[in-house]
Structure 1
Amino acid sequence: MARQKLSHTFTKVRYKALQANKPYILLMLFLMFMGWATQAQETPKKQPLNIEAEKDSINVSIDKDLIQPVVQDTTKVDSTATVNDSIQGPPPFLTDIIKYTATDYVKMSRKENKIYLYNEAEVYYGEYELKAGIIVIDYNKNEVYAGRIKDTAGNLSQTPYFKQGQNVVEPDSIRFNFDTKKALIWNSRSEQTVGEPMNVFAEVTKKENDSTYFLKEGRLTTSKNLDDPEYYIRVRKAKFVPDKKVIAGFSNMYIVDVPTPIAVPFAYFPMTDTKQSGFIMPTPGEARDRGFFLQNGGYYFALSDYYDLALTGDYYTNGSYGLRVESNYAARYKFRGSVRLRYENLIASQKGFPDYSRSTIYNIQWNHSQDAKANPNSRFSASVNLGSSSYYSDSFNQLNSPNFMNNTLQSSVSYNKTFTGYPSVNLNLTATHQQNTRTETINMTLPTLQASMERIYPFAKRDGIKKGIIQNVNFQYNLRGENRIETNDEEFFTSKMFDDARAGFRHSIPVATNFKVLKYLSASVGGNIDEVWQFKTIRKNDYDATIDDITIDTLSGFDRFMQYNLSASLGTTMYGTFNFGEDKKIQAIRHTVRPSVSYGYTPGFDNYYDQYIADEQGRIEDYTRFEGGLFGTPSRSNANNIGFSLNNVVEAKVRSKDSTATEPEKIKLLNNLNFSTSYNIAADSLALSPIRMTGGTQLFKNKMSVNFGATFDPYAIDNAGNRIDVFNINNGGSIVRMTNANVNVSYSLNSKTFQKGGDDSKEDDNTQSGGRDDDLFGKAQDFSDSRTFSDEDDEDNEPVNQTAYAADVPWDLRLAYSLTYSNRNRQSEITTNSLMFSGNIQLSPRWKVGASSGYDFKDGGFTYTQLRFERDLESFRLNFNWTPFGTRTSWYFFIGIKSSILSDLKWDKRREPDRRL
């Protein structure tokens, strides 16, 4: 008989046991074995048995499949099931493996069918993560319980931490069912980080499923002080959908645990990272002559991820109202922009009174920018700000207060397209608008067409090096067309604005070459051919005695004229260096001089001129039919101009403050200092043009910008102020006579300017209402609108250190000085002399004050002045803006929650300017 394998023997024994005729014997043996195993699992410490181990004389290889672990895998598998079994059993209640650990002990109770984890216990099951001081897993109920434990001092510690996906709950205790996914949570705390952070507290929370929780006695707050929030919204009962919303019944606000009368019968709190549509609460107030008002109220439409819409308005009890439409749009890697349409109907006094008046004002703003990645060969951009000239000065809206001193409104919409190839062509189409708010005059181009062809070198290879006068010969073609409109506020957007429109085209073909002369001189020679097309010309008729004047006819139709000119220039660059030694702080100063001489010749084109009888004496005058055209008139007389220019740049080499630097620093002492004039050889008088001087420099690490200019006239003037053909020095004066001069200085600095590492100041962005991009005329902000403030503003306002400042007090300051001098007619008058300044200082980590003002030294008085006070109340923001004097005396007080979720919880009060002054 062949010897069987031991594995076969054991297989037979096990098979026979399962097929025993007396199963109760097997049951008794199994219970005895399980009793011993359970007692061993519940014994905290292992007790050694004093039994000597004897070596078995028979080597038996034990099959590992026969050894069944005491604690099996939580996923039960039917041993009788096969792959091809057509009958499927019920799904297991646990679909994943439970992983658990603890610091002190893990106790398994077969009698209770529970697992006890104590001290820093952790359980992981699928997407669920549970940490606590003590955790109990109940296999009978398929539940887990977690709670706190007492430390050595008797205090409860190790608060449970329950995480499902991205949702985190930190309660006092929790009871969770693996089968139904339901849970009971006591004293829970959850932070919703989607969108703006919102902390949700509740005494009892019932988890219905993964997306629905029911709260009892809950608290909602955006405070960062979770242990003792300075405010919260108490809700008695609520339905909580994580990362989406909280729907509550009766709710009221508590400040430092004191209930307030601010309450609502029901409430809705959105908690999503996407924009949500909703009402924009208005700001109440009172205005002189208009009664009470509600400002900036309306509705916000979150239409999509790419664009939105806000409809807001103002209403005054005297009948005045304002409407605004605002929209922002963006497409990643393509474009972004915003549109603002504003209209106000203003009523003063009441009907029947002599001072009653009604007027309408409007303003249109559009900003559009295209991403450079969208299309490298074409680009579209827009910057539009147009409307009523009196919009900023007459509007009562808070956002427009600091912009009433704007003198001009400008707009530009352009499209640029490059046609690649050889020669490439660049096409630009632009519509512009410039409006003077004082004179109410408007100049527009609808549109301007510009096209230019790439420069062509006909005598040189396209990719070769160009040498000499012949190979450098080049030409190109330029086209400019305009449709210019001059109108005013009254005729703007009416058909009358097009009555006096002027249109025309100008073709230009410049031809040039350049070469070296005597190795150090750069010479250029060229010419230009211009042809102008016009669609309207004039004809001046002879003097008519019946009307005692001449008549001028406007002729519609195509007409053209052509002219040309020649030019040449010669220039060089010279350097002068003054060395002081490497051991000096200023090691060297280099002076760069670029002198140049140019010559220009333009012949006269008399063939484009006609004559007419100007008066009854028969005086004959010349004129050209192209008068009034966009691109001037044909040249009448020969012009032989010799131009002179001199450019200066002064730089210095300064020893670096960094001891490890091997090279000195290079700084510019004078960015530019230019002199220019010209002399007309063909002129019979006043041949020398005035000398123009301009210059500029940057000081204090480019923090101070200085620009200046002046004009000097070599000729004298008569008693009437007219230039005469006599040099000023021959008339008893100086060599030249300064007719005008100007200087502009701007300086920006802060508390970190003079510290090592420089400063981290950021440019102001105050263009929400179309005004200046700085705060020299004050800030225009609506504190009640959460859209005014960005997330970066909240981060900047967050104090870095809660302790009081010592000597390091954060501050910033901006200065702008302007001086203009005029002496054209010996009046020797300073026309403008003013200093504008704006600054902010942070007195403490949460107190910040600022001011914007200026002083007019010529007229003797302060300009528009604004004082600002800001207080950071952690979860609240307090602002007070005050204009103490002037025609726009006003103040604005605001206190409200910083978070946009609860931005409607606010209180503000304002006093509008007295427009009767």
Structure 2
Amino acid sequence: MQSNKHRLLFSLLLFLGVLSLSAQEDKVIPLTIKKQKDTIVAPLIPADILGAPVKKDSIIQDSTSKKEPLLADIVKRKAEGYMRYDRKEGKIYLYDKAELYYQDTELKAGIIIMDLAKNEVYAGRIKDSTGVYSQLPDFKQGNQIVKPDSIRFNFDTQKALIWNSRTEQQAGLGSIGSDAMKVYAEKTKKENDSVYFMSRAKITTSNDTINPDYYILVRKGKFVPGKKMIAGYSNMFIADVPTPIALPFAYFPMTTGNTAGLIFPTFGSDPDRGYFLQNGGYYFPINDYVDLTLQGDFYTNGSYGFRGQSVYTKRYKYKGNVNIRFENQINSQKGFEDYSRSTNYNIQISHTQDPKNNPNSRLSANVNLGSSDYYRSSLNQYNVPNTQNNNLSSSVSYSKTFPAYPSVNLSLTATHNQNTNTDVINLTLPTMQASMERIFPFAKKDGLKKGIIQNINFQYDVNAQNQITTVDSLFFKSEMFDDARVGARHRIPISTNFKLFKQLSVSLGGSYEDIWTLETYNKSYDETTEEVVSEKINGFDRYNKYSFSASLGTTVYGTWTFDESKNIQAIRHTMRPSIGYSYSPSFEETYDEYMNADGEYIQYSRFEGTLNGAPGLTQSSALSFSLQNTLEAKVKDKDSTATEPKKISLLSSFNISTNYNFQADSLRLSPFRVNGGTTILNKKMSINFSANLDPYAIDNKGTRINTLNINNGGSLFRLTTARANIGYSLSSKMFDKDKDDEDDNKDNGDSYVAASGGRTDDLFGTADNFNGRPGNLNDDEDEEVKENPLYKNTIPWDIRLAYAVSYSNPNRQDEISNHSLMFSGNVDLTPRWKVGVSSGYDFKNQGFSLTQLRFERDLKSFRLNFNWTPFGTYERWYFFIGIKSSILKDLKWEQRSQR
């Protein structure tokens, strides 16, 4: 019985189960289990965020509010390694050359992880099989770019933690390249879009972002992009070596455009004037068109100086600058015998107007005036070349055109010319010039003029001046006006021209002049002093004069042709002879006379010594002659593709002129004047010459006599004066096959005139001023070329020569009055080493002129300059080393000797 219990129980359960299944076929019995809402909510990620297309439901959505999505914008991403979205963690993983674009943020890195729940992103580098990190993050938000080792950024709070960040700030106006500020920080906390807090930050302008040759280490700092950086204790490192150059706190401006700020001075000592501060000051950016720079010098013995410079520019209107410099120089100390005090000044003004601004009205200025010895005795003497300048000149002019027929041009001009050797100053305050256009009263309205009648024309012009001659010590004082001369000249020229035999050009004309003056002079002989006394009579007076002239000229061509196989295929000689005649009557009615000590009557004019002088006493009837020559050649062009031969100039000009006065009682023939010039060696050498040839002989006293020199036992002509100037420039570019033709055609004449009156080239040396100008050591050359220059069998070099010689022999002295050679040259020994020399030798006085040796070294972020004048009046040396960037140019060291 016991063994069958289990079988009976199993059979019973099976029977009940069958009954239950058969009962449920017709009826569903629900379970009594209570439904509960799950508390776990999975993040909803719209398909458009992940980049997949979204299907829009056609059923109208419920109007009830729904939960906002976690992201505020579309996430665009890509990676070469893999892209993975972890739904459980709510994160997006991008690996290997990953890129993420979200809102205004662009992020590129080796690895990027975006936490969708926290709206936060992390980016970092990746390590290869060798353990080397690569693909540094590149984070860009708006205009700010940061290149760290890793970064953590929250899109909601806009805060970030950045490790080993690298950023570049374009500080200054138009800063590029080495002039941009680079900031490296071990750890950076981004508080918001405008404030960063940095720890152990490095500031540099070096182009080498891995191993900068210098940097300023900031322990703690607050960084405002595009504006400033305020730092705590900071000191300078050179090649990772700390230097004693340190500050307890520092301020680094990083604003773009013009910003006001201090100009750091130069420290030093002078054996005569004590310790000094030089070139310290302040910069004022007044507005977008005008700025102002104020600088000053101070010496402990009481000497001082100040300089003010303002530059202004308005596009399509005008531009210019004003530069005022003043120095108060004190030697020794009060109470000593050698005590002295002097003041020097210099004023430079430049103004140019755009011709398109107002074609009928124009104002221009080019002023350079001041003390004659300013450049030579200045305490702050940087500009060595200007010590050789012996002339200062200025001009300020305003012109106005009235275009209605007949048009009139009116101009007012103030001029200044100052000889710094003699201290003589000539001024015109002002000169008024007015002229009316040429009128053809008998010409047809169609403008065509034929024959002698239709070509008759006349003009009217007036020139009025207030001319002053004074000296440097009386300049800007009332005494300078004591000897002022005021006058005006009215002139009406009448002329006509026509052709004779189709080959000769004939010109006929006459001129009427009316001369006004505000002072005249009465002369008499004083028997007491036995001198001729000239008495100035103030008051208006005038005289008139007239003259007639005629000229006949033509042009003659002569051509010699050669075989086309020759290098020289043709030579053409052009001659332009001209013969002229002029007649002027005697104006003896304007002359008076006085009796001298010998009882002789001496004639004089009361207009002698006035601005425009006196009319002629004797009648003049003179015949003039001139001959102009040019010589050109056609040579075979080296370019085999050229279809025409190349034209070159053999002789640019060769002119001869003289005149013969029929009314003179003696010495009727004037000396022959000869001048000419040419350029050779592919226009690299310019040659100019002139001479005077006198046909008359001189007596034992050196006075010309009415005897031809050939009849006095001499030659046909007597060479009285002669001058020759040769300028030559040579450089390695001339031998470069890839050189530009434009470089060969540059003018080699005397066009190197600076605003200060000196030269812009280095023939007289270069300025010892490296603080206010950018580096000049091949700065336009690519840095990569300097690091890895291509092999060449030549190195860049240039040479300039200027030779001048003058011969004087009016009284048989037969001497060389001037004989000198000036030269300068530069050699780029390496892409970063440059040496130069400027000097000259005076063969007349047997001595060297101003000699300067220059050594320049490009130290990447730094530049080194050493200028040395080894002997002479301006003997000195100057050493400078400083940062090339204008942002940190005050980090420098300079030392110079006293002359």
Provide TM-score, normalisation by structure 2. Answer: 0.90
- CA displacement at 1:876 relative to structure 2: 0.6
Query: What is the aligned partner in structure 1 of residue 787 from structure 2?
Result: 802
Distance 1:392 1:82, change over 3 A: farther
Q: 2:325 aligns with which of 342, 347, 351?
A: 342
Matched, 1:229 2:212: yes
Distance 1:356 1:791, change over 3 A: closer
Query: What is the aligned partner in structure 1 of residue 762 from structure 2?
Result: 775
Q: 2:573 aligns with which of 581, 584, 591?
A: 591
Contact 2:691 2:721 in 1 (8 A): yes
Query: What is the aligned partner in structure 2 of residue 602 from structure 1?
Result: 584
Matched, 1:131 2:112: no
Query: What is the aligned partner in structure 1 of residue 819 from structure 2?
Result: 833
Equivalent runs, 1:166-565 vs 2, <5 Å: 166-194=143-171, 195=175, 196-541=179-524, 543-565=525-547
Distance 1:83 1:727, change over 3 A: farther
- CA displacement at 1:310 relative to structure 2: 1.6
Q: 2:803 aligns with which of 817, 835, 842?
A: 817
Tell me how far apart the structure 1 counterparts of residues 662 and 223 of structure 2 sit (CA, whole Å).
Answer: 89
Q: CA-to-partner distance for each residue in 1:345-384, whole Å, 9 max, x for gaps?
A: 1122222222222211111111111222222222211111
- CA displacement at 1:27 relative to structure 2: 8.0
Deviates more, 1:269-278 or 1:224-233: 269-278
Distance 1:89 1:440, change over 3 A: farther
Query: What is the aligned partner in structure 2 of residue 116 from structure 1?
Result: 93
- CA displacement at 1:94 relative to structure 2: 4.5
CA RMSD of aligned residues (A): 2.9
Secondary structure in 1 aligned to 2:623? strand
Query: What is the aligned partner in structure 2 of residue 676 from structure 1?
Result: 657
1:575 partner letter: Y
Matched, 1:706 2:683: no
Secondary structure in 1 aligned to 2:779? helix
Distance 1:792 1:254, change over 3 A: closer
Contact 1:117 1:136 in 2 (8 A): yes
Tell me how far apart the structure 1 counterparts of residues 348 and 782 of structure 2 sit (CA, whole Å).
Answer: 30
Secondary structure in 2 aligned to 1:398? coil
Q: CA-to-partner distance for each residue in 1:229-258, whole Å, 9 max, x for gaps?
A: 111011111111222221111111111111
Tell me how far apart the structure 2 counterparts of residues 687 and 408 of structure 1 sit (CA, whole Å).
Answer: 37
- CA displacement at 1:71 relative to structure 2: 6.0
Tell me how far apart the structure 2 counterparts of residues 797 and 546 of structure 1 sit (CA, whole Å).
Answer: 83
Tell me how far apart the structure 1 counterparts of residues 203 and 33 of structure 2 sit (CA, whole Å).
Answer: 63
Contact 1:469 1:513 in 2 (8 A): yes
Provide TM-score, normalisation by structure 1. Answer: 0.88
Secondary structure in 2 aligned to 1:800? helix
- CA displacement at 1:76 relative to structure 2: 12
Contact 2:48 2:74 in 1 (8 A): no
- CA displacement at 1:207 relative to structure 2: 1.5
Q: CA-to-partner distance for each residue in 1:839-885, whole Å, 9 max, x for gaps?
A: 11111111111111000111111111111111111001111111111
Q: CA-to-partner distance for each residue in 1:543-589, whole Å, 9 max, x for gaps?
A: 45455445443222221111111111111111111111221111111
1:446 partner letter: L
Deviates more, 1:630-639 or 1:216-225: 630-639
- CA displacement at 1:614 relative to structure 2: 3.1
Tell me how far apart the structure 2 counterparts of residues 122 and 580 of structure 1 sit (CA, whole Å).
Answer: 74
1:688 partner letter: L
Query: What is the aligned partner in structure 2 of residue 906 from structure 1?
Result: 892
Q: CA-to-partner distance for each residue in 1:374-403, whole Å, 9 max, x for gaps?
A: 222222111111111111221132323332
Contact 2:148 2:162 in 1 (8 A): yes
Query: What is the aligned partner in structure 1 of residue 12 from structure 2?
Result: none
Identity over aligned pairs, percent: 59
Deviates more, 1:764-773 or 1:426-435: 764-773
- CA displacement at 1:806 relative to structure 2: 4.3
Tell me how far apart the structure 1 counterparts of residues 119 and 182 of structure 2 sit (CA, whole Å).
Answer: 30
Query: What is the aligned partner in structure 1 of residue 881 from structure 2?
Result: 895
Contact 1:836 1:853 in 2 (8 A): yes
Tell me how far apart the structure 2 counterparts of residues 613 and 83 of structure 1 sit (CA, whole Å).
Answer: 128
Q: CA-to-partner distance for each residue in 1:244-273, whole Å, 9 max, x for gaps?
A: 221111111111111111110111111222
Tell me how far apart the structure 2 counterparts of residues 675 and 287 of structure 1 sit (CA, whole Å).
Answer: 58
Contact 2:391 2:757 in 1 (8 A): no
Contact 1:398 1:782 in 2 (8 A): no
1:882 partner letter: W
Deviates more, 1:645-654 or 1:338-347: 338-347
Contact 1:691 1:711 in 2 (8 A): yes
Distance 1:376 1:145, change over 3 A: same
- CA displacement at 1:770 relative to structure 2: 5.3
Distance 1:594 1:114, change over 3 A: same
Tell me how far apart the structure 2 counterparts of residues 332 and 638 of structure 1 sit (CA, whole Å).
Answer: 57
Query: What is the aligned partner in structure 1 of residue 851 from structure 2?
Result: 865
Secondary structure in 2 aligned to 1:900? coil
Contact 2:774 2:886 in 1 (8 A): no
Tell me how far apart the structure 1 counterparts of residues 768 and 352 of structure 2 sit (CA, whole Å).
Answer: 24
- CA displacement at 1:751 relative to structure 2: 1.1
2:83 partner letter: V
Distance 1:91 1:863, change over 3 A: farther
Tell me how far apart the structure 1 counterparts of residues 539 and 572 of structure 2 sit (CA, whole Å).
Answer: 59
Gaps of 5+ in 2: 1-31
Secondary structure in 1 aligned to 2:130? coil
Deviates more, 1:278-287 or 1:208-217: 278-287
Secondary structure in 2 aligned to 1:403? helix
Equivalent runs, 1:706-725 vs 2, <5 Å: 706-725=687-706
2:828 partner letter: Q
Contact 2:366 2:755 in 1 (8 A): no
Secondary structure in 1 aligned to 2:724? strand
Distance 1:796 1:642, change over 3 A: farther
- CA displacement at 1:289 relative to structure 2: 2.2
Deviates more, 1:418-427 or 1:500-509: 418-427
Contact 1:393 1:404 in 2 (8 A): yes
Tell me how far apart the structure 2 counterparts of residues 685 and 517 of structure 1 sit (CA, whole Å).
Answer: 34
Tell me how far apart the structure 2 counterparts of residues 88 and 625 of structure 1 sit (CA, whole Å).
Answer: 111
Distance 1:249 1:678, change over 3 A: same
Tell me how far apart the structure 2 counterparts of residues 83 and 302 of structure 1 sit (CA, whole Å).
Answer: 61
Contact 1:286 1:293 in 2 (8 A): yes
Contact 1:211 1:242 in 2 (8 A): yes
Deviates more, 1:303-312 or 1:243-252: 303-312
- CA displacement at 1:765 relative to structure 2: 8.3
Contact 2:786 2:832 in 1 (8 A): no
Query: What is the aligned partner in structure 1 of residue 671 from structure 2?
Result: 690
Tell me how far apart the structure 2 counterparts of residues 625 and 799 of structure 1 sit (CA, whole Å).
Answer: 77
Query: What is the aligned partner in structure 1 of residue 595 from structure 2?
Result: 613
Tell me how far apart the structure 2 counterparts of residues 382 and 147 of structure 1 sit (CA, whole Å).
Answer: 61
Distance 1:743 1:799, change over 3 A: farther
- CA displacement at 1:127 relative to structure 2: 2.6
Contact 1:400 1:769 in 2 (8 A): no
Secondary structure in 1 aligned to 2:439? coil
Count of residue pairs brought into register by the alignment: 854
Query: What is the aligned partner in structure 1 of residue 865 from structure 2?
Result: 879
Contact 1:457 1:471 in 2 (8 A): yes
Contact 1:651 1:668 in 2 (8 A): yes
- CA displacement at 1:303 relative to structure 2: 2.2
